[in-house]
Amino acid sequence: MNALLQTKIDTVAFGTQVLKRDLFLIEQGHRGWDRTVQENTVEQLVRRVMQLELDVTALMAQCLSVGFRYPLGRTSQILDGLWGVFLILASMYADLTMPNKDANGLGVHPSKLKELQVSWVRLNKLTKQARDRLAEDKLLATGKAVH
């Protein structure tokens, strides 16, 4: 069971790093990309955020399942961290889908981009914390806790 949870948190961590790259691309877009490229980049970022929300939700459900069957000391901490990750992703989604174009009518307004970058830092930190907490739990393949 631990291997499955570890794989899922690794997927979330990888997706978080891809978001960083996409935010960088949007930032670079403010330096002269045409409207179509910027809109496509923002749409791609929105899809990535939505996929990460699904991945985090699946991971939370799996942690709940393991926690109910085999109570773990850190399950609530892991879930709290994942809930924080989900809330940041929901906020990022709202920011990205809200009509808030920059002065040229392109992409994301620079102030919103800055907020998204700050959100990403928090997202990355919480993802790492959840990953570390999950790695600290010693579970056997059957899902039973090792004390």
Per-residue pLDDT, 122? 93
Asked, for residue 145, whether it belongs to a domain, the answer is no
Interval 44-73: pLDDT, tens: 889 999 999 999 999 888 888 776 665 556
The token pair at 137 is 């739990």
Interval 80-114: pLDDT, tens: 888 999 999 999 999 888 765 554 555 677 788 88
Asked, for residue 90, whether it belongs to a domain, the answer is yes
Q: Domain range for residue 114?
A: 2-136
Asked, for residue 79, whether it belongs to a domain, the answer is yes
Asked, for residue 94, whether it belongs to a domain, the answer is yes
Asked, for residue 131, whether it belongs to a domain, the answer is yes
Asked, for residue 44, whether it belongs to a domain, the answer is yes
With a CB cutoff of 8 Å and minimum separation 6, the contacts of 145 are 70, 71, 72, 73, 137, 138, 139
Asked, for residue 142, whether it belongs to a domain, the answer is no
The token pair at 71 is 């109570």
- For the chain, how many structural domains are there in total? 1
49 to 6, 94, 112: CA distances (angstroms) = 20, 10, 15
The token pair at 44 is 């791609």
